[in-house]
Amino acid sequence: MPQEPEIICETRGAAGVVILNRPKALNALSLGMVRELARALDAWERDPKVTRIVLTAAGEKAFCAGGDIRALHDLGRAGNYGEMLKFWGEEYVLNAHIQRYPKPYLSLIDGIVMGGGVGISLHGGYRIAGERYLFAMPEVGIGFFPDVGATYALPRLPGAAGIYLALTGDRVGAADAVALGLATHAVPSGRMAELADALAGRSAVDDILAGFTHDPGPERLAADRATIAECFGAPDLPAIFDRLERKAKAGNGFAGKTLQTLSVKSPTSVAIAFEQMRRGATLDFNEAMRTEYRIVSRIARSPEFYEGVRAVVIDKDHAPRWQPASLEAVKPEAIAEYFAPLGADELVLEP
């Protein structure tokens, strides 16, 4: 039996259509998928018959649950850091290409979208959320960090919501995504295929979307947005925890739950993520991607990442032994080293 392609890129009418095609692996990105998507986008950018890009995914559970973390872990365990960094480097170049893409880029997201899936969708102009949409950047739970452009995108969400999402890895559905700007439109799941067909026509993209958009319903985080803004808008990590603790003691259940969530994340990763958010608010997109490549070049050699993947992905005991084990023990100079320039090894991006 011939093997199914991991990604399908084809022209349908006016649209360059991409189908992520690894449903059993939750459409996790491989290096081959990154390369094929980059190749197709290059070709379609030069093709006058293609007026828009439509990114979809096979299966109902996941749009794309991230990069293939297990494969990357295994490469690092074998000492193949160059192969690991080849994946991340090409992925980040692709993220930057999507962010500056000159044609409408539409992602039809009806399922889990995490990590690498966020990188190939969030930076396009149109993010259409179905009823199964579920966004998260949960990397701090595996000793990693929210990458693929999160350094740029998350600090720009309203009310410090992006800092909250980066530090906690919390999941949000379609209603919250639209309210925060993670999604631009909400469409019923049952109409996604019809929408994809309509987008292959030559009518204006905004006119087509207007005929499909619906109200995604109430936001789950609505009642807690003020608490998020106050606590995660604090100037440093100790102040975030201090504000959460004071609110929890005053009976704020959301603050108490958030503290519990933060307590099991990698302290090093939480500190890296906060510094990303702090710096990212003033960086342009290319600077943000270069920053992430600096971080990942150090993470690839960090025991924290391998321990996190062991605990969550391999052994599934969900009992990682973080070192250092507390935020108080994380040294600021150790965090600063993750952000240091790479010299000749810096990520090369188009201006």
Which one is catalytic: 16, 66, 67, 149?
A: 67
Q: Could you give the count of Cα atoms lying within 13 Å of 101 in the half-sphere of its Cβ?
A: 33
DSSP assignment of 203-248, as one string?
Answer: S-HHHHHHTT-------TTGGGHHHHHHHHTSSSHHHHHHHHHHHH
Which one is catalytic: 68, 91, 131, 139?
A: 139
State yes or no: is 119 an active-site residue: no
State yes or no: is 116 an active-site residue: yes
State yes or no: is 67 an active-site residue: yes
State yes or no: is 169 an active-site residue: no
Give the closest residue to 201 by CA, choosing from 50, 48, 58: 50
Which one is catalytic: 68, 147, 176, 292?
A: 147
The C-alpha atoms of residue 103 and residue 197 are separated, in whole angstroms, by 18
Which one is catalytic: 16, 89, 111, 116?
A: 116
Give the closest residue to 177 by CA, choosing from 113, 224, 241: 113
The C-alpha atoms of residue 273 and residue 147 are separated, in whole angstroms, by 9
- Residues annotated as catalytic are 67, 116, 139, 147
